[in-house]
Structure 1
Amino acid sequence: MVPPPAMGDDRRPQIRLAPGERLAFGRSAPGNDLAIPHEGVARRAGAITAQGTFWLLSNLSAHQTYVVAEPEGAGEHIKVGPGRLDAPVPFEFSRIVLPAAGDLLALEVWAPRHDQLRGGAGTTGDTIAPVYSVDRTKRYFAVLAALCEPRLRGDPHAPLPTVDQVVERLRPGWPAVSRTTVQWNIGYLGVKLRLDGKKESLVSLALRFDVVREDDLTVLTRPAPRTTR
């Protein structure tokens, strides 16, 4: 999970939760694992509970409705009303929007584990949790493909593209791409693939285990889905 930036501080540390762990958030630190120091946030605002393939959101405020949106989707979102406990959130990564005295505060939640049927589609396969499960329709995969492209094109020792070069490579199919969105997706890939988020580590793993293959480079020219980011 990535909390909103503190007042005057743009740094956004990551908070990791194992399945079954719970994180309470609210205006002040006592009684909360995450303090959001804004006068419009309830003292006990809510709680996030991690599960194996999804997560739960409890809205502990008395009057505010929270919206959970999928940044990479086509406007998909759910509403969690005041007092609602353990609402399941199925999105792979999400943005919780907290209305706070005229401001909108965002907490971003990344859920890297998704179960898949063994052997692909069908009704008789066993469910497993792939170590490196990716969705090739998402923007994070296009960013990863752009990072891998020079080495997939035939030079295994090619230097990795800079963030600016990734931006330019993706712009034809993603006109709104920026350094910020590319860096955000690189950070998400680090969480999803259980790495440090460094480009060299991401590319090395992606190529070693065929997470990205040469025929995946078609995503670099495919129009990206509409999104809020």
Structure 2
Amino acid sequence: MYSIIVVPPPTTEDGRDPAQRRLAPGERLAFGRAVGADGLLIEHDGVSRRAGEITAQGAFWTLSNLSGHQTYVVENPEGAGEHIKVAPGRLDAPVPFEFSRIVLPAAGDLLPVEVWAPRHDYLRAADEAEDGAGFSDGGVGGGGGGGGEPTAPAFSVDRTKRYFAVLAALCEPRLRGAPHAALPTVDQVVERLRPTWPAASRTSVQWNIDYLAVKLRLKPGPETAEPGPRLNGKKESLVSLALRFDLVREDDLLVLAVPPRRALR
């Protein structure tokens, strides 16, 4: 069963799109400007003769950087700027993204090689009871689990509350495909929310931002005696945390949409 699909740079010199390459678990694909017939040929003077190697590992893949001096960047196109760097000479660096783009610096050009990992492995439904039925202290298949207290959620958010709409408005620019966009000001958040929350104001939005900082444990709660350090860059910290742990996804931006008006009778 193929688990990894490699999509070469968009076009070859003759203008044709090169064929995709499919790898089964354990298979390797070398790439560069002078690889054999089984490799991925990238005809660019700025690419090393043997630039790197991709290895399929089931539900993920690894990248070896065979360049002696050039760092490769692997981007997550859906991850609001998420990326990893693979240093020169690094072997078998694991890549966790489902959709990835290897960016190869090549004499002033940036060549993209896309890698898809569509295979997803999950626990069987029968093994997915609360807090991991079928698990024990010894790991998977230990015969325990299913009993005891349920695990408390790491972050508890209610997507029907005002504070979540505020968080979604803060995250929206980066979720819309601008991973390095400046965050909206409080006034811009107010204007973004006003169609669905006419009473929104600077005070109410700022209150919700402060509440989120406590709720997501960026600041200690009022029940603690210590006020904690002043949190600078509060909005940046909230958005970074929300995007890193998928507390807000692109689908969640529906909370900002104005519901359609009912047709007049």
TM-score, with normalisation over the residues of structure 2? 0.46
Residue from 93, 97, 108 that aligns with 2:103:
97
**Post-superposition shift, 1:8?**
4.4
Larger radius of gyration: 2
Structure 1: distance between partners of 2:252 and 2:81: 23
Provide Cα deviations, 1:129-183, integer angstroms capped at 9, x if missing partner.
xxxxxxxxxxxxxxxxxxxxxxxxxxxxxxxxxxxxxxxxxxxxx978xxxxxxx
Partner of 1:124: 133
2:85 counterpart of 1:85? no
CA-atom RMSD, angstroms? 2.8
In structure 2, runs of 5+ residues without a counterpart are 1-5, 141-174, 178-250, 256-265
**Superposition pairs of residues 25-174 of structure 1, within 5 angstroms:** 25-30=31-36, 33-119=39-125, 120=128, 122-125=131-134
Is structure 2 residue 222 aligned with structure 1 residue 222?
A: no
Q: Which whole-Å deviations, capped at 9, do the CAs of 1:11-70 have from their partners, x for residues lacking one?
A: 142110000000001112348611101000000100000011110100000010000011
Q: Is the 8 A contact 2:76 2:99 kept in 1?
A: yes
Instruction: Using the aligned pairs only, state the percent identity.
Output: 65
Please list every run of 5 or more consecutive structure 1 residues that lacks an aligned counterpart in the other structure.
128-173, 177-218, 224-229
Q: Partners of 2:37 and 2:51 in 1: how far apart?
A: 11
Greater RCO (Cα-Cα under 8 Å, separation 6 or more) = 1
Partners of 1:124 and 1:96 lie apart in 2 by 38
Confirm or deny: 8 A CA contact 2:35 2:50 kept in the other structure: no
Amino acid in structure 1 at the alignment position of 2:43? P
CA distance in structure 1 between the partners assigned to 2:29 and 2:50 by the alignment: 12
SS at match of 1:222: helix
Q: How far off its partner does 1:115 sit?
A: 1.6
CA distance in 1, matches of 2:54, 2:98: 15
Amino acid at match of 1:51: Q
The amino acid of 1:222's aligned partner reads L
